[in-house]
Amino acid sequence: MATTESPLISFLERPGGRVAYDVAGPGPLVVLVPGMGDLRYPPKLYAGRRPADFEDYRARVVAGLRRSGHARAFSLTSRTGHAAVEAGLARVSAPTLLVMGERDPDFADPRAEAGWVSAALRTEELMVPDAGHYPQSQQPEVTTSALIASAARVCGDG
């Protein structure tokens, strides 16, 4: 599928390829990240409830990471800190909803991390119970309901 560049899309050049993200526009800005990383790490990211198809999903992730250059490219995306992110957060003008699992092992204090990001984005946040790094697959009913309600408010239907 061909993509066209837009003045609302910014690109981050990384050695593994370009990463695109939308920083403006009518929104909503929705970012979903597939579960990739160290082959031993994905199970830890699913702290709390695991989806029924977790083992099949994990097998697909492992197979994807074994493709030439994929593990290295993903590894490069996992090495950012607040300084790199903070500069970009101020440029986001699209309506957002921050969704984070209460048990996300990427952060010592997921609630504090969510508070920092939601304050920077001036947005509401949803802390999803019994979920780690992937609340959209661990608690799909909770996250889907919140995303639909947020989109309805942005579109003037809610």
What is the C-alpha to C-alpha distance for residues 25 and 16, in angstroms, rounded to an integer?
A: 27
Across the range 9-21, mean pLDDT stands at 48
Angle at CA of residue 36, ends 30 and 39, nearest 5°: 165
List residues bridging with 13 in a β-sheet. Answer: 18
pLDDT band at 42 (very low <50, low <70, confident <90, very high): low
Architecture of domain 26-155: 3-Layer(aba) Sandwich (3.40)
Of 28 and 40, the structure prediction assigns the larger pLDDT to 40
pLDDT band at 158 (very low <50, low <70, confident <90, very high): low
Tell whether the model's pLDDT for residue 130 goes beyond 90.
yes
pLDDT at 4: 43
Per-domain boundaries in the chain: 26-155
pTM (whole model) above 0.85: no
Q: Which residues contact 120 (CB under 8 A, 6 or more apart)?
A: 86, 89, 90
Q: Please, what is the average pLDDT of the chain?
A: 74
Q: Which residues contact 87 (CB under 8 A, 6 or more apart)?
A: none
Across the range 29-55, mean pLDDT stands at 62
Angle at CA of residue 39, ends 22 and 79, nearest 5°: 45
pLDDT in tens, 69-117: 877 777 766 666 677 777 788 888 888 999 999 999 888 899 998 998 8
Tell whether the model's pLDDT for residue 33 goes beyond 60.
no
pLDDT band at 30 (very low <50, low <70, confident <90, very high): very low
Q: Residue 87: how many CB atoms within 10 A of its CB?
A: 9
pLDDT at 142: 94
Tell whether the model's pLDDT for residue 153 goes beyond 80.
yes
Contact in structure between 147 and 99 (CB atoms under 8 Å): yes
pLDDT at 81: 67
